[in-house]
Amino acid sequence: MDRNRFNRTLQELTHRRREVLLEVLAGKSDAAISGALNITEATVRKHIENICNQFEIANEFPDERRSKRPDLIALFRKYQPEFVREKTPDLQFKEAISPEAKASLLGTIYNRDVFVLIDRSGSMVRKDGDTRGLARYKFLQEEVESHVWTILSTERRSVEGSLQKICDRLSVYFFCRDKVGAGPYEIKDASQVQELFHNHPPKGNTFITPTLRQCFKTWIEGGKPKNRGAFFIIYTDGLFDDESNFIQFISEACLEIYDHRQIKFLILGLGEEIDVRHFLSLDFNVNQKNEFNTLVFDRVNEVDNIIDVLQRQLVENPDLVFPDWVLDRYPEFVKKVMMAKPDLRASNVIS
């Protein structure tokens, strides 16, 4: 099986088979997988058989399904080694990293790939009080220019004296239809933003997933092997038309990382019609579902400094991090999060 066929097969797996696969790649027994996923051992074995069949792993001994596991693991070691979570030297190294070392490697905004995804749906022509009477798209253009300038100009000196930047260029996409949107456009200067907005006027719907998948694929193939983290900044004025696919994609992305600070998906909403409670619930439900907290929601109008928004999610426990406006206006959401995390104390909430 070549890499292209492997990738297609992986994408075709159902959510349940992905769950079983991850447990298999962790070296767990049928009984352990059964207990973890609350299914029978017979169901576990059937899932494993189907997974192996999908990956074209020959079944020489039909009644000995476990015998195919080494071949399945070997296949993933070849094409997707990050999925294999047995006690390999690489995983042992990751597990051995101290919290201080992790913070040093992952806890800063520097050395990142940055992807900017801009909603160009038809509703972006509407005007709101919180967009100063401007069409949302025009207002957003100015905000994006500001954010891009800040990201490109933020730098510091390392302990060794070298200059560190978040990035020296950003990749911009415009999304609307149910396909990969226009882009990528390489931005090295914030002055390029105005022309991009002019050349991509509002139209269509709000399908985010195809474009986001393309951005993530770019990071997987380029930035990740170079130990670069990534920020995916999504600007939108409404709900995603493919929200279920978006949720599934976030779950798949979490399988590609070993720490939540490697990647962050930041949704920035604007306009008076933005359903804040829905996006807060999306933030909560997606992060509860997955091993890593990678999804963040904020409002464009509440962002004083885009760097602060990015940096505050890189703490050890991002579940405790809330913007001031959420603490003030949505205390029931904060309570909901804290109730779901009984081991966390409300006194430790970070704004």
For the segment 324-343, what is each residue's pLDDT rounded down to a tens digit?
999 999 999 998 888 876 55
Provide the pairing of β-strand 170-175 with 182-187: antiparallel
Q: How far apart are CA 60 and CA 275, in angstroms?
A: 54
116 and 83 in a common domain:
no
Domain stop point among 68, 96, 124: 96
Provide the pairing of β-strand 155-157 with 163-165: antiparallel
Give the pLDDT mean for 98-108: 58
Q: How far apart are CA 241 and CA 204, in angstroms?
A: 11
Q: Which structure tokens are listed for 135?
A: 């069409």
What pLDDT is stored for residue 96 in this prediction? 44
* Percent helix, strand and coil across the chain, each to the nearest 5: 55, 15, 30
What pLDDT is stored for residue 62 in this prediction? 46
What pLDDT is stored for residue 105 in this prediction? 55
Q: Is 90 exceeded by the pLDDT of residue 31?
A: no
51 and 38 in a common domain:
yes
67 and 154 in a common domain:
no
231 and 323 in a common domain:
no
Q: pLDDT by residue (tens digit) across 231-264?
A: 999 999 999 999 999 999 999 999 888 889 999 9
Q: Is 90 exceeded by the pLDDT of residue 212?
A: yes
Domain that holds residue 170: 105-316
Total count of residues recorded for the chain: 351
272 and 125 in a common domain:
yes
Greater confidence (172 vs 335) lies with: 172
User: Residue 15: CB partners within 8 Å, gap ≥ 6?
Assistant: 248, 251
Q: Is 70 exceeded by the pLDDT of residue 93?
A: no
What pLDDT is stored for residue 350 in this prediction? 53
**Overall number of domains in the chain:** 3
Q: Which structure tokens are listed for 217?
A: 């694929």
Q: Is 60 exceeded by the pLDDT of residue 94?
A: no
Number of helical (H) and strand (E) elements in the chain, helices listed first: 15, 8
251 and 128 in a common domain:
yes
Mean pLDDT score across all residues of the chain: 86
Q: Helices in 219-275 by DSSP H: which ranges?
A: 243-254
268 and 138 in a common domain:
yes
Q: What is the CATH number of the domain that holds 113?
A: 3.40.50.410
